[in-house]
Amino acid sequence: MALRSRSLGLAAAGLIAAVALTAARSSEAVVFDPETFTLDNGMQVVVVTNRRAPVVSHHVWYKVGSADSPLGKSGLPHFLEHLMFKGTDTLEPGEFSRTVARNGGNENAFTGPDYTGYFQTIARDRLETVMQMEADRMVNLRLTEPEVLLERDVILEERSQRVDNDPGAKLSESLNASQYLHHPYRLPTIGWRHEIASYTMADALAFYEDWYAPNNAVLIVAGDIDAAELRPLAEKYYGSIPPRDVPERVRVQEPPQNAARDVVLKDARVRQPYWIRSWLAPSLNAGASEHAYPLEVLSEILGGTSTSRLYRALVIDQKLATSAGSYYSGTALDLGTFKIYASPRPGVSLDELAAAVEAELERLVAEPITPEEVARATTRMVAEAVYARDSLTSAVRSFGAALSTGRTVEDVEAWPERIGAVTAADVKAAAAYVFQEERSTTGHLLPADGQAARSANEDAEDDA
C-alpha cells in the first residue's frame, strides 16, 4: 500500500538508488533527451516527451527537505507536505485530491532529505487543471488549527507504522543519527516523535513562506507533451507567480570522523538478526566528488548482484549469510554514505559476519578489482538504464533529484558516459578513500538478551 503514502521519500535510500540507476541509456548519445527552459521568475522547467499513452506526469519539486528542518522541529518539511492538501483561498480541504480523482488522475507527494515533491499523473487534456491547482497552492495555502492538529495525529500514526513498529527501521534511524554526528542528515525524515508532537500551524506556515517559491522549485513534466506545448501553460500558471527571497540552505557540516561507532539495537521482537556498516562517503556534490562515479561502480561489483564479490563470498562460498550486499548513492547534496549489509544464517554471529566482510575488503587490496570486473559492471549498469525510458517517472525522478541538489540536466544525460569512463584504478582509489575504519558506523540488530537468535534480515532500510 505504498501508493497511499504521502511520504514516499522516507524510503529515501530506495528512491535515490533508483534515480542513480535509472539516469542513463546504452550507447546512444542521450539518455532521456529532455527539453529545458527557465521561466522569468527563475523556475526551472524540464520536459521529457514520451507519447506512448495520452498521459502526462506533472511534478513540482521544491529545493528543500528534511535536512532543512528548523532546529527542534525535525520532520517539519514532511508535515508541511501533508498540509499542502488542506486547501487554499479557492480550494476546500481535500478538494485538491477530489479534483484530481474526478479527472481520473493519480497523485501523491514525498519528502526526502534534500527535496520535497508533488505529482499528478493524468490524462494529457487534464494537465492544465492540475497545473492551475499546483500553482495555486504554491502561494495560497490556507490552514486551520483543527486540520493541522488532526494531520499531526496522522503523522504520528505514519511514524508508528514506518518506524516504531519495526525494529529494523528503528536501528536504521539510530544508525543514521550516529553516522552523522552534526550534519542534519542525522534527522529522520519523518521527524522525532516528541518534535512531531510540538508542531504548530505557525511552524508550518513559517516554513512554507520561507521556502515555497517559484525560484526555489523545479517543474518536470513527462509524457505526451513537448516544450512548445508546455511553455504557454507553464508561463500562465507558474510564470505569473513573483519570485521571492528564499533562505540559503545553510547546513552545518560534518566534522572529520575520528572514531568508529557502534549502534546496537536489541528487541524481543527480533527473530532475524542483521548487520550493517556505513562509511561517510563523498557525493557528486560534496567532498572528494571525483570518487562518486567510481563508488557507484564499486558498489555494483562488491555487492550489487548475486554474482558480486560479497554475495559470492558470504552467501555462496562461506555460507555465513542468507544475503549480503552494498549500497551507495552519490546524489546527496552533502556527504553521503557507502553501506555494506549482511544477514546471518542460523548459528552465525554478527561478529563472524563482520570478520568475513572485513576479509573481503582486505581482498580489495590483495586482489584488486580487475578491468574486466569494471567493464562487466559498467556495461550492465548502462544497459539496464535503457529500461528507465520505459517509464514516465524514472526520468522525472532523475531530473528532480539532480536539479534539487545543484546538478544539471547535462549531468543526468552524461551518466552513461561518466560511468563508462570509470577505470579499475579509479575504483581502487575510491575504495581506499572510503573504507577507513575510523570513518565507519556499524549497526547490529539483535534479539533481546537471553533470547535465541534464529537468523537474519536483509532489508536495506531508509538511510536518509
Work out which of 142, 244, 261, 271 binds other proteins, going by CB under 8 A.
Answer: 271
Q: Are 124 and 223 in contact (CB under 8 A)?
A: yes
- Per-residue interface string for the shown chain with other proteins, residues 393-432, x marking contact by CB under 8 A: ----------------------------------------
- Minimum distance of other proteins from residue 419's CB (angstroms): 13
CB neighbours of 386 closer than 8 A, spacing ≥ 6? Answer: 24, 25, 26
Q: Which of residues 237-256 bind other proteins (CB under 8 A)?
A: none
Q: Which is nearer to other proteins, 77 or 93 (CB)?
A: 93
By the rule CB under 8 A, 200 interacts with other proteins: no
For the chain, state the CA radius of gyration.
22
* Strands in 18-105 per DSSP E: 35-38, 44-49, 55-62
Q: Which is nearer to other proteins, 239 or 443 (CB)?
A: 443
Question: How many Cβ atoms are within 10 Å of 319's Cβ, its own excluded?
Answer: 10
By the rule CB under 8 A, 386 interacts with other proteins: yes
- Minimum distance of other proteins from residue 50's CB (angstroms): 8
Tell me how many residues contact other proteins (CB under 8 A).
Answer: 79
Amino acid at 336: G
Q: Which of residues 316-345 bind other proteins (CB under 8 A)?
A: 316, 319, 322-323, 343, 345
Question: Which grid coordinates are listed for 356?
Answer: 568475513
Q: Which is nearer to other proteins, 204 or 284 (CB)?
A: 204
By the rule CB under 8 A, 272 interacts with other proteins: yes
**Interface stretch with other proteins, choices 153-161, 235-243, 246-254, 283-291 (CB under 8 A):** 153-161
Active site residue 81: yes
By the rule CB under 8 A, 307 interacts with other proteins: yes
Q: Which is nearer to other proteins, 266 or 345 (CB)?
A: 345
Q: How far apart are CA 179 and CA 462, in angstroms?
A: 13
Which one is catalytic: 28, 35, 81, 372? 81
Q: Which is nearer to other proteins, 278 or 323 (CB)?
A: 323
- β-sheet bridge partners, residue 109: 118
Backbone angles phi and psi of 243, in degrees to 5 = -70, 155
Measured distance between the N- and C-terminal CA atoms of the chain, rounded to whole angstroms: 21
Q: Are 61 and 400 in contact (CB under 8 A)?
A: yes
Q: Are 336 and 283 in contact (CB under 8 A)?
A: yes
Alpha helices (H) along 161-200: 167-179, 193-196
Q: Which of residues 57-116 bind other proteins (CB under 8 A)?
A: 85, 93-94, 97-98, 100-107
Q: How far apart are CA 347 and CA 111, in angstroms?
A: 39
Q: Which is nearer to other proteins, 101 or 365 (CB)?
A: 101
Question: Which grid coordinates are listed for 285?
Answer: 556534490
By the rule CB under 8 A, 314 interacts with other proteins: no
Task: Give the catalytic positions in this structure.
Answer: 81
